[in-house]
């Protein structure tokens, strides 16, 4: 990979995942959780959570390091950051962040409680 990039720290990861759940709402949020349960990536505009199956060999070569089938790549791009930012998260860690966001959403809006069922599918799909 020739371009500049930055690896996110845990505080930045939490912020970026929070931002992802903020910008993706309603039925798109449900679709995103279904994708995660099937180890399929999802994102919008400049923030993405991606799985190995989302990349071909050429795409893999452009990453700071190859993505395996036990990790998720969290990516945040320009213009919200000056250089692309990446984080490689194992499934239990990724699930923990997603779970925290879903629980916050349901606490604020109990009518969104169906998200907990989708969260359980994410947990099962990731084998956590």
**Helix (H) / strand (E) containing 90:** strand 84-90
Burial class (CB in 10 A: 0-12, 13-18, 19+), 4: exposed
Q: What is the DSSP string of 22-77?
A: HHS-HHHHHHHHHHHHTT--EEETTEEEE-GGG--HHHHHTSSS---TTEEEEEE-
Parse the chain into domains and list their residue ranges: 5-126
pTM: 0.92
Tens of each residue's pLDDT in the chain, 128 residues:
446 789 999 999 999 999 999 999 999 999 999 999 999 999 988 999 999 999 999 999 888 899 999 999 999 998 888 889 999 999 999 999 999 999 999 999 999 999 999 999 999 999 99
């Amino acid at each position: 990979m020739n371009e500049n990039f930055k690896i996110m720290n845990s505080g930045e990861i939490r912020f970026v995942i929070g931002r992802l759940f903020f910008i993706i709402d309603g039925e798109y949020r449900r679709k995103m959780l279904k994708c995660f349960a099937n180890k399929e990536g999802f994102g919008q505009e400049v923030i993405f959570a991606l799985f190995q199956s989302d990349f071909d060999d050429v795409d893999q070569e452009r990453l700071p390091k190859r993505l395996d089938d036990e990790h998720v790549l969290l990516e945040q791009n320009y213009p919200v950051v000056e250089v692309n930012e990446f984080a490689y998260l194992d499934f239990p860690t990724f699930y923990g962040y997603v779970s925290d966001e879903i629980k916050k959403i349901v606490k604020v809006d109990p009518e969104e409680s169906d998200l907990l069922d989708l969260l359980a599918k994410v947990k099962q799909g990731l084998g956590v």
